[in-house]
Amino acid sequence: MNRDQPLNTRIELAGVPLASPITLLSGCVGFCEELIHLEGFDFSSVGAIFLKGTTLEARRGNPPPRVAETCGGMLNAIGLQNPGARHVVDVILPTIQHLPTRFFANIAGSSVEDYGEVARIFDNSPVDGIEVNISCPNVKEGGAAFGSDPRIAARVVDEVKRATSKPVITKLSPNVTDITQVARAVMDAGTDAISAINTVMGLAIDLKNRTPKLGNGQGGLSGPAIKPVALLHVWRIHQIAAARGIPIVGQGGITTAGDAMEFILVGATAVGLGTALFRNPMASAAILAGMTDWLRHFGADNFGQLKGTLRWPT
Ligand SMILES: Cc1cc2nc3c(=O)[nH]c(=O)nc-3n(C[C@H](O)[C@H](O)[C@H](O)COP(=O)(O)O)c2cc1C
């Protein structure tokens, strides 16, 4: 096999052409404040960047500590600290929109209406699409996460779709009994793509002090520890998303090219790097190179040919 033969790393996500299937995940590169100063950072290896979770009003976030290392992962409870949607669009986006990659906003809210208002603000901005984080508490209606009830998840997506003509990507929470019910509901509501999975709820304990390690008590687990959970969720979502042509951004614990390829095999069109960036913010270039080696290994010309080709035992 000729290693020098160029392979097609391009993909399309909800109508948006990406130069690479690798995305950088929300909350893991902020608003690119540090990335733009990172010497030698290879933007050509990054198909898109999901910006930090943004709400209508600015939020101060949770009390520290906000992150704790755990076995094979990391627990976080940032509490959606952000400067508010208007500030992101008016002040931050003009400083990063020239970068040679695509950007998706990541929006959150305390009520269904909040999501619509934030989406409207981003609709009138240069972002390429809007990712909807439905793992936040529905403060106005009892406090359970929007994403834990398929009907409420669908209402959020419906509200966002009405507020924007940009592609909408719904980010699903693994903290539910049956993720396919939520996936089906948000697809019925018109989502253009799905991101899976968000973090898995967990608790880390400071034994000597008999306290949680996080200032918020509980938090969301990410990193390699959640990869098997994420792979199964993506595979199950793929069983219903494929027939509707809805692409999936697979994520949860990817640190190597092999990890990323596993997500392609279970049905992901694009993959996301999150926690891995805390150890190596430059990881995307090596992972993309490794992924193209896997393409050659399988005799494929592009990632789409391998999508969903896991050989499930019959
Ligand atoms: C510190 C931190 C902050 C995060 N903030 C957000 C956020 O604002 N919005 C969101 O949808 N997901 C957020 N996430 C979840 C990630 O985008 C990603 O879905 C998750 O961490 C799983 O991928 P990973 O195991 O590769 O990190 C955050 C994760 C971490 C670790």
Of 23, 106, 131, 222, the residue with max ligand 1 atoms within 8 A of its CB, to mutate for a pocket test, comes to 222
Q: Determine if ligand 1 sits within 6 Å of the CB of residue 53.
A: yes
Whether 47 shows a pLDDT value over 80: the answer reads: yes
Q: Which atom in ligand 1 lies closest to the alpha carbon of residue 133?
A: 11
Q: Is the dihedral of CA 241, 27, 98, 284 positive or negative?
A: negative
Whether 221 shows a pLDDT value over 70: the answer reads: yes
pLDDT of residue 117: 98
Mean per-residue pLDDT, 192-197: 98
Whether 3 shows a pLDDT value over 80: the answer reads: no
pLDDT of residue 2: 54
Per the model's pLDDT, the better-predicted residue between 292 and 3 turns out to be: 292
Per CATH, which fold does 11-61+80-199+221-306 belong to? TIM Barrel (3.20.20)
Q: How far is the CA of 278 from the centre of ligand 1 (A)?
A: 11
Whether 121 shows a pLDDT value over 50: the answer reads: yes
Q: Which atom in ligand 1 lies closest to the alpha carbon of residue 74?
A: 31
Q: How far is the CA of 78 from the centre of ligand 1 (A)?
A: 10
pLDDT digits (tens, 9 = 90+) for 152-193: 999 999 999 999 999 999 999 999 999 999 999 999 999 999
User: Would you say the pTM of this structure is higher than 0.75?
Assistant: yes
pLDDT of residue 182: 98
pLDDT digits (tens, 9 = 90+) for 258-291: 999 999 999 999 999 999 999 999 999 999 999 9
pLDDT of residue 139: 83
pLDDT of residue 275: 98
Q: In the 8-state DSSP scheme, what is residue 8?
A: B
**Residue with the nearest Cα to atom 23 of ligand 1?**
252
Q: What is the mean pLDDT of the chain?
A: 96
Q: Determine if ligand 1 sits within 6 Å of the CB of residue 198.
A: yes
Q: Is 19 helix (H, G, I), strand (E, B) or coil?
A: coil
In residues, how long is the chain? Answer: 314
**What are the residue boundaries of the structural domains of the chain, listed by start?**
11-61+80-199+221-306
Q: Is the distance from CB of 206 to CB of 232 less than 8 angstroms?
A: no
Q: Determine if ligand 1 sits within 6 Å of the CB of residue 224.
A: no
**Active-site residue set:** 136
Question: For the chain, where are the alpha helices, taking DSSP H only?
Answer: 85-87, 93-96, 112-123, 150-163, 179-188, 227-244, 257-265, 276-279, 283-297
Q: Which atom in ligand 1 lies closest to the alpha carbon of residue 195?
A: 19
Whether 1 shows a pLDDT value over 70: the answer reads: no
Q: How far is the CA of 220 from the centre of ligand 1 (A)?
A: 8
Whether 238 shows a pLDDT value over 60: the answer reads: yes
Whether 247 shows a pLDDT value over 90: the answer reads: yes
